[in-house]
Chains A and B, each alone.
Chain A
């Protein structure tokens, strides 16, 4: 998918792309932090019809909703069925103590009882990682366990 970036002098930037259904979509990112999403019509391809506007806070929320790895959804469903069981995501920051070290070194399950069931690395998902799986900065660990257990894993990874 190609995203075109257009400079709007004095106002901000506009991003444009065509979605899988052939709709031409534009996102105006203003210097003030506000966003406007437009769809280009068929009768006048130059005119964008405004769909909605977001302030910076709302845009962050939408980005989070859209950007959350899909794997988390399925675990969320699972945890709804089993009371007391929760899932969480823990990010390995670049330069953290475990950046470049195997998962086993964290001793997360031994110490907290919570399990790392997947590692999300960009577009890629490493399901059922072994203790020998080497972590990298930016990885997101999907953790299943009690709330305390997940908090514990977070503390370990953060160092």
Chain B
């Protein structure tokens, strides 16, 4: 076997660069996703340091990255948590869909995208990044806060919406005449419902099938099963990512918990490659023309997400400051907005650069804003005087 020196070197340098950037971002409690995107832009075509040899690996790695992202998303699903979220926050979820999908849809229509493009952009502006938000809440020590269940409930209900949205989008994006599309959508929704049923009624049997005390065996079995199902899904023109998601849904209980633990590092690695690939696929020259649209869209959906978060926290009886923390926590968009573009990207040339720029802006703005929302008093008033260390009032 010949060792591909160029590939190893380029890949090594890229990973080392990602690690430095990621560590830097974590240092300031920011998301590393924008930096990964930037790195992708820099090493892509028209960038400053092209990497011809690593391109093929990055492409394959990105495909695996999406599959792992969605597999782990499926593993996170617990019907009990949905039941709780639905009971308390169904109205927050409705406000969320209306306020955050609408700006994307309107923008898509104004930009002259077709129906699939409009639907994709609506999804990209709707879905908060549960990865960034959950990490942020943990890093900022906000898991114990009273507004946190409201934030997490909104995220969980968004994930539920994605369970139906992604298969439908994947089918629509693959094209065909109207009756093929309708049939495809029905099959996709049916598949999700079947996965839910399997998960609910026979999840533990399926879990036993792949469960093994040895981590290596568990990893091989789950990955093997997932990749086979993903390939089959791709073969019938539903996306591979959606197939992986269905596998994740079907696995529950102890097996899901252990699989999540075993897969998480692998997911993080390949997700980084996926963000890199998204950056790679976008030509920096294409970014400038879409920047005004991305900025406008980011500004609008930043405000609408804050409204949703404040509303959800308000419903849980949280005070004004907690409401601001909840609102700002939800701003960050990330992996799933990019997954959506990955599903339709090849057919819509403006969508890739637009959503990349959009995610870039909000993945930076979200963590920054929510960090300061917790520190600064919302409105200087009598409440802050009682603070320790504050000078006594004259």
Among B288-327, those with CB < 8 Å from A are: 318-319, 321-322, 325
Interface set of B (CB-CB < 8 Å, partner A): 76, 78, 80-82, 84-85, 130, 134, 137-138, 141-149, 152-153, 155-156, 257, 261, 318-319, 321-322, 325, 374, 383-384, 386-387
Give, as a whole number of angstroms, the nearest-CB distance from B75 to chain A. Answer: 11
Tell whether, in the assembled complex, residue A9 and residue B155 are in contact, meaning their CB atoms are under 8 Å apart.
yes
Instruction: Decide: A11 near B384, CB < 8 A? Known: A36-B143, A45-B319, A48-B144.
Output: no
When distances are taken between beta carbons in the complex, the residues of chain A under 8 Å from B257 are 31
Bound together, the chains give a CA A6 to CA B384 distance in angstroms of 28
Bound together, the chains give a CA A6 to CA B316 distance in angstroms of 12
Instruction: Decide: A11 near B152, CB < 8 A? Known: A31-B257, A43-B383, A45-B319.
Output: yes
Tell whether, in the assembled complex, residue B147 and residue A46 are in contact, meaning their CB atoms are under 8 Å apart.
yes
A149 contacts B by Cβ under 8 Å = no
B76 nearest CB neighbor, chain A only: A10
Tell whether, in the assembled complex, residue A9 and residue B383 are in contact, meaning their CB atoms are under 8 Å apart.
no
B154 nearest CB neighbor, chain A only: A9
Instruction: Name the contact of A38 in the complex, choosing from B82, B141, B318 (C-beta under 8 A).
Output: B141
Instruction: Name the contact of A9 in the complex, choosing from B85, B144, B147, B321 (C-beta under 8 A).
Output: B85
Give, as a whole number of angstroms, the nearest-CB distance from A29 to chain B. Answer: 10
Instruction: Decide: A9 near B84, CB < 8 A? Known: A43-B386, A46-B318.
Output: yes
A32 contacts B by Cβ under 8 Å = yes
Interface set of A (CB-CB < 8 Å, partner B): 6-11, 14, 26, 28, 30-32, 36, 38, 40, 42-50
Give, as a whole number of angstroms, the nearest-CB distance from A23 to chain B. Answer: 13
Tell whether, in the assembled complex, residue B141 and residue A36 are in contact, meaning their CB atoms are under 8 Å apart.
yes
Can you list 18 contacts pairing A with B, beta carbon distance less than 8 Å? Answer: A7-B84, A8-B148, A9-B155, A9-B156, A10-B76, A10-B81, A11-B137, A32-B261, A36-B141, A36-B143, A36-B144, A43-B383, A44-B321, A44-B322, A45-B319, A48-B141, A48-B144, A48-B146
**Majority secondary structure of chain B interface residues (helix, strand, loop or mixed):** helix
Bound together, the chains give a CA A45 to CA B319 distance in angstroms of 8
B148 nearest CB neighbor, chain A only: A8
Tell whether, in the assembled complex, residue B374 and residue A47 are in contact, meaning their CB atoms are under 8 Å apart.
yes
When distances are taken between beta carbons in the complex, the residues of chain A under 8 Å from B153 are 9
When distances are taken between beta carbons in the complex, the residues of chain B under 8 Å from A45 are 146, 319
Give, as a whole number of angstroms, the nearest-CB distance from B200 to chain A. Answer: 17
Tell whether, in the assembled complex, residue A8 and residue B149 are in contact, meaning their CB atoms are under 8 Å apart.
yes
**Majority secondary structure of chain A interface residues (helix, strand, loop or mixed):** strand
Tell whether, in the assembled complex, residue A46 and residue B145 are in contact, meaning their CB atoms are under 8 Å apart.
yes
Bound together, the chains give a CA A32 to CA B138 distance in angstroms of 12
Tell whether, in the assembled complex, residue A6 and residue B149 are in contact, meaning their CB atoms are under 8 Å apart.
yes
A27 nearest CB neighbor, chain B only: B144
When distances are taken between beta carbons in the complex, the residues of chain B under 8 Å from A32 are 261
B321 nearest CB neighbor, chain A only: A44
Bound together, the chains give a CA A40 to CA B321 distance in angstroms of 14
Tell whether, in the assembled complex, residue B387 and residue A46 are in contact, meaning their CB atoms are under 8 Å apart.
no
Bound together, the chains give a CA A42 to CA B318 distance in angstroms of 14
Bound together, the chains give a CA A61 to CA B200 distance in angstroms of 36
In this complex, the member of B141, B143, B153, B322 whose beta carbon has the largest number of chain A beta carbons within 10 angstroms is: B143
Tell whether, in the assembled complex, residue A50 and residue B144 are in contact, meaning their CB atoms are under 8 Å apart.
yes
Tell whether, in the assembled complex, residue B141 and residue A46 are in contact, meaning their CB atoms are under 8 Å apart.
no
Bound together, the chains give a CA A7 to CA B150 distance in angstroms of 10
Bound together, the chains give a CA A38 to CA B143 distance in angstroms of 9
Give, as a whole number of angstroms, the nearest-CB distance from A90 to chain B. Answer: 31
Tell whether, in the assembled complex, residue B386 and residue A38 are in contact, meaning their CB atoms are under 8 Å apart.
no
Give, as a whole number of angstroms, the nearest-CB distance from A22 to chain B. Answer: 16
Give, as a whole number of angstroms, the nearest-CB distance from A9 to chain B. Answer: 4
A38 nearest CB neighbor, chain B only: B144
Pairs A-B, 5 closest by C-beta atoms: A48-B144, A38-B144, A46-B322, A50-B141, A46-B146
When distances are taken between beta carbons in the complex, the residues of chain B under 8 Å from A11 are 134, 137-138, 143, 148, 152
Tell whether, in the assembled complex, residue A47 and residue B143 are in contact, meaning their CB atoms are under 8 Å apart.
no
Tell whether, in the assembled complex, residue B152 and residue A8 are in contact, meaning their CB atoms are under 8 Å apart.
yes
When distances are taken between beta carbons in the complex, the residues of chain A under 8 Å from B386 are 42-43
Bound together, the chains give a CA A43 to CA B76 distance in angstroms of 35
A48 nearest CB neighbor, chain B only: B144
